[in-house]
Chains A and B, each alone.
Chain A
C-alpha cells in the first residue's frame, strides 16, 4: 500500500509571523490556520511533503535562472531593510 500517515513525520508547531501568516519551517510561510476554517479547510501535510514541495519550487526557480542566462550576478550586499525608518502614516487599505 502506498501512502503516509501524518504521525510518520508531524510538522513542528507554527510560529506566528503576523495576523495572517504562520511559519513552521524557515522561509516556509502558511496562511494562519484560523483563517482557513469556513470556506477552505487547511490540510495536514507531513513535513517531508512540505520539504518536497518547497524544494521543487526552488528547483524550478534555479531552472528558470539557468534558462534565461548563463549565470546570475550577485551583489554580495546584505539586505538593508533595517535602515528604513518608521512607516509613513498609514493609508486605509481596502
Chain B
C-alpha cells in the first residue's frame, strides 16, 4: 500500500483524536502546521507551502505513538517525527505532508538510578530541564549541543548529535545506553548494546543501537531512552588563547588535543573569518585587536584535584606553542555562551557593510586534523564566489571542534557558518545556495572526511553525495529501510531512500 492522499479526511482526524484522547492533542489548524514545517537551517521560504504537514499530533505515551504509526500504515500516510525542531539538517521537515508526531509532551523522567548510574526518560525531555532535576542528586547528563537549552533527547537520537564536551564525556550515541523504539510498522522494541536497558557493553547479537542513531526519522521514533549519568563536575576551567596566524594556532590545537589530559573536554579553533565576524556582529563579541587572527578555546571538567594541575599543564602547552591568554573574563564568559548558541540574534552584512537579518547556515563536516588548513582555504574560496555572485550571503567564519568521543584528537567537527538573507531568496538563488553547499560537501569528501559530523546529510546539496560517501553501505541502508518500513511511511523522501522501493520491489514512493 502506498499513500496517495493529499490531505487527511475527517475520518482519519477522528481516529487520531481517539488514539490521542482529545482534540487538544490533534492539531490540524494552519498555525500549528506552519510552526512545524521548517527548522533553523536555511529553508526555501518562497516554497513554504510545499513542506506543510497535514496535521500535528502530540502523543504522551509509547502506546499512542505506536497506534498513530499503525494508523499511518493502514492509510498510507507519511509520518514525520519532530522533537525540538532545532536540527540543522531537515530531518523534521515534512517532504510529503502527512502526520508530524511532535514528542514534546513526552517529557517525563521515569527513573533515576543512582546505583547503576542511569536516568530513564521519555524522549521529549530537554537536556537542560533534565539536568536541573539531576543537580540535586550530584549527577549530570553531559550531552551539550549548541542548542542545549532548547533541543530535546529524541532529536539528539534522530540526528546522532555531537556534544561540545564530548571529548571528555562522549556524544549522544555514547551517552544513550538503550532506548525504546516504535518501528515504522508500529511494533515497539527495545534496543541497546545487546539486551538489558542499563547495559553499556555487550557482544550479544547485532549492535542495533547505532542503527537507530542518526537515521533522521526514517527508521522509527524513539519514545524512551536510558541515559548515562556522570558525577557532576566540581570544577569547570575554560581558557582562550590568541594567535597572530592560523597555522600556529592549528599546530597548538593539535598539541593541546594530544596532551593526554583526561579532563580536557574540548578544543575549538576559531579562524580569522570567525574572529572578524565576532568583532562586528556576534553577541559573544571578543574585542581583540587586529593582531589576533586565530583563537583557541579549551575547557576542562572534573574533580578539583584533577583539573587544577591539568589546567596548569594546559596553560603551559598553550604558552609553549605560541598562545597568548585572553584572560579569565573572556574565557569564562565566552565558554558559557557556547552552551547556548541559539540565543544569538542573527544578522549579517551585505558587501557594502549594511546590516540585514540573516538565517544561519552551519555546514558541518568531519575532517581529519591534517586536512583542516587545506579545507579551510577551499571552503572560504567557495563561499566568496557565491557571496560575490548573489549578494545575499555572508561568510561568518569557521570553527574546528574536537570531534572524537572520550579523546580530543583525530578528526574535527569543522564548520563554516554562512549567513543567508532568507527573505530575498528566490528559486535561482536557492539553487545557487544548494550548489554552494554541495561544493563545500565535495571538498570534505576530497579530503578524506565525512560530509556531516552531527547535523545529518538529508538536505539538498548533501544528500546527493551520500551514496558516494557510503559506497556499498548505501545499498545496505536501502535494504534495511525496505525491510523495516515496507510501506515507506516513515519520513519518506529523506536520504534518497525512495530508491529502496524502486526496481524489483515495484513500489511507488509515498505521495
Contacts and interface: CB of A to CB of B under 8 A. Distances in A.
A39 B356 contact: yes
Nearest to A37: B354
Interface string A50-85: 000000011011101101111111111111110111
B291 A85 contact: yes
B233 A68 contact: yes
Interface residue range, chain B:
35 or more
B479 interface: no
Contact of B355 (A19, A29, A40, A70): A40
A84 B280 contact: no
A27 B325 CA distance: 19
A17 B324 CA distance: 22
Interface string B376-406: 0000100110011000000100000000000
B355 A35 contact: yes
Contact of A73 (B235, B273, B330): B235
Given A64-B336, A80-B324, 5 more contacts: A35-B355, A40-B357, A72-B235, A72-B238, A84-B289
A79 B315 contact: no
Contact of A20 (B140, B279, B283, B380): B279
A29 B285 contact: yes
B128 interface: yes
Given A35-B353, A69-B233, A73-B237, A93 B272 contact: yes
A70 B232 contact: yes
Contacts of B350: 39
Contact of B308 (A57, A72, A73, A85): A73
Interface residue range, chain A:
35 or more
Which of A36, A38, A93 has the most B CB atoms < 10 Å from its CB? A93
Interface string B252-288: 0000000000000000000011001001110101011
A67 B350 CA distance: 38
Nearest to B248: A88
B389 to A, nearest CB: 12
Interface of A: 17-21, 27, 29, 31, 35-40, 57-58, 60-62, 64-65, 67-81, 83-88, 91, 93-94
B416 to A, nearest CB: 11
Contacts of B239: 75
13 contacts: A31-B347, A35-B354, A40-B357, A58-B333, A62-B336, A64-B340, A72-B236, A73-B237, A79-B325, A84-B324, A87-B244, A93-B273, A94-B387
A69 B230 CA distance: 12
Interface of B: 128, 131-132, 135, 140, 232-239, 242-245, 272-273, 276, 279-281, 283, 285, 287-293, 301, 304, 307-308, 311, 315, 324-328, 330, 332-333, 336-337, 339-340, 343, 347, 349-350, 353-357, 380, 383-384, 387-388, 395
Contacts of A78: 327
Given A39-B356, A68-B301, A93-B395, A73 B311 contact: yes
B291 A71 contact: no
A67 B48 CA distance: 38
Q: Which 7 residue pairs across A and B have the least CB separation, nearest first?
A: A79-B327, A94-B384, A69-B236, A80-B324, A61-B336, A20-B280, A69-B233
Contacts of B336: 61-62, 64-65
Contact of B236 (A61, A73, A81): A73
A94 B380 contact: yes
A67 B131 contact: yes
A39 B355 contact: yes
A93 B276 contact: yes
B233 A74 contact: no
A20 B287 contact: no
Contacts of B343: 60
A18 B288 CA distance: 11
Contacts of A31: 280-281, 347, 355
A73 B307 contact: yes
